[in-house]
Chains A and B, each alone.
Chain A
Amino acid sequence: MASAAKSIKVNLAQQIVQACEGSTKVFSFDCVTGDNEHPTYRGVFRVLRTVHPYRSHTYNVQMDYALFFTHDGKALHQYHGVVPLSVVRTARGSVGDWFGSHGCVRLSEADAKVLYGWASVGTTVQVS
């Protein structure tokens, strides 16, 4: 029997990422998405490239467990900041979305690692 199609759902309002197999949710992770000036685009995409470890040459920042899903380089990836992701996520929700990313979807190291091992190129990414 064929396995159910995998998809990654990014909920911008709730700042969560869900990994689904068919209609079954298998993982749910907290995330931080883009700010006003660099929004995470809504739409349906595919994972185009995966790289780990990875350092962005554009931003000169670490982006481990990167799952690129747009042609302009937006990716789900590990957050490497000094301030904990949970604090940034809370600040983004309560203070303002200028605490957001440059359009990427940031995850904790543990969550990014799990998602990277689960997804593959071609996996659908739905941002809504």
Chain B
Amino acid sequence: MNSAIKRYGIFGLVFLGGLFFGAGLSQFVSHDQVTASPEQKIAADTQIISLLGEEVMSLTYHTEALTLTAQRSKPADPFAVQITFADGRKPQQCLTSPDLAGLLGDFSTITAKRQIQSPRFEAEFPQPLGTLEIRDRIVAEAPPAMLFRTTANRQAVALSYDGYTAEVRTSIDGFVKLEGGCEALVQR
């Protein structure tokens, strides 16, 4: 009896050990272990993000002065735009084209000019622009929110997201147009 219990006990332990080893090994190889390493990740001319324009369903641009939301219910439809102002100005609403008055391409594909080390982001680009959040139909993995800044002379633009920072080829003109509200977005 005792030897039977011992034998079954050993088998049980071996079984449990194998189970835990297998589960551990599975976790080890199934999940990507390495954490983000923001250093030396973004080469010049890398497309940091690119979204299929027709799949973009909403875009929110938030600055100290305003919050602009452009959204649509179906791919490739016109965007309904709503803008609220921090200074209490009357909110604006308008309908703009499916390419967001020509801006969708500028904001749905963002290309790196050079990577910036995070501590240099605010020093080299002292003027805040705003935060851009774009949503497409991949709801399970939303694109990262992107914080944009510009240089003192407003000639260059940089972004930061998830700990990564880079100067980008995006022109400041698009941000200026967004800040122009419905008047700028409805006219082409």
Whole-angstrom CA separation of A122 from B109 in the bound complex: 13
Quick check: B48 and A62 within 8 Å, CB to CB? no
Chain A neighbourhood of B29, CB < 8 A: 81, 83, 87-88, 91, 99
Map CB proximity to A onto B138-175 as digits: 1 under 8 Å, 0 otherwise: 11111110000000000000000010100000000000
B52 on the A face (CB < 8 A): yes
Quick check: B30 and A101 within 8 Å, CB to CB? yes
Chain A neighbourhood of B137, CB < 8 A: 48, 71
Chain B neighbourhood of A102, CB < 8 A: 30
Quick check: B31 and A51 within 8 Å, CB to CB? no
Chain B neighbourhood of A101, CB < 8 A: 30
A-contacting residues, B57-87, CB 8 Å: none
A56 on the B face (CB < 8 A): yes
Whole-angstrom CA separation of A119 from B143 in the bound complex: 19
We find that the number of chain B residues with CB closer than 8 angstroms to chain A is: 33
Chain A neighbourhood of B139, CB < 8 A: 71
B42 on the A face (CB < 8 A): yes
Quick check: B141 and A57 within 8 Å, CB to CB? yes
Quick check: A122 and B52 within 8 Å, CB to CB? yes
Query: Which chain B residue shows the least CB distance to A121?
Result: B52
Nearest CB in chain A: distance from B107 CB, A? 13
Q: Is the interface on chain A under 10, 10 to 19, 20 to 34, or 35 or more residues? A: 35 or more
A-contacting residues, B3-57, CB 8 Å: 26, 28-36, 38, 41-42, 46-52, 55
Whole-angstrom CA separation of A62 from B32 in the bound complex: 7
Given contacts A58-B141, A73-B141, whether A49 and B49 have CB atoms under 8 Å apart is yes
A9 on the B face (CB < 8 A): no
Quick check: B36 and A62 within 8 Å, CB to CB? yes
Give which listed residue, B34, B46, B50, B52, contacts A62 with CB less than 8 A: B34
Nearest CB in chain A: distance from B98 CB, A? 16
Instruction: From A55, A59, A63, A100, name the one whose CB has the most chain B CB atoms within 10 angstroms.
Output: A55
Whole-angstrom CA separation of A83 from B143 in the bound complex: 28
Whole-angstrom CA separation of A82 from B48 in the bound complex: 25
Given contacts A80-B34, A99-B29, A99-B30, whether A48 and B51 have CB atoms under 8 Å apart is yes
Whole-angstrom CA separation of A55 from B35 in the bound complex: 9
Quick check: A82 and B55 within 8 Å, CB to CB? no
Nearest CB in chain A: distance from B143 CB, A? 7
Give me the 4 closest cross-chain CB pairs, A-B, nearest first: A80-B32, A73-B140, A73-B141, A61-B32
A residues near B (Cβ < 8 Å) are: 35, 46-59, 61-64, 68, 70-73, 75, 79-83, 87-88, 91, 98-102, 120-122
New contact pairs (4) apart from A73-B140, A80-B33, A98-B30, CB-CB < 8 Å: A58-B141, A61-B31, A61-B32, A71-B137
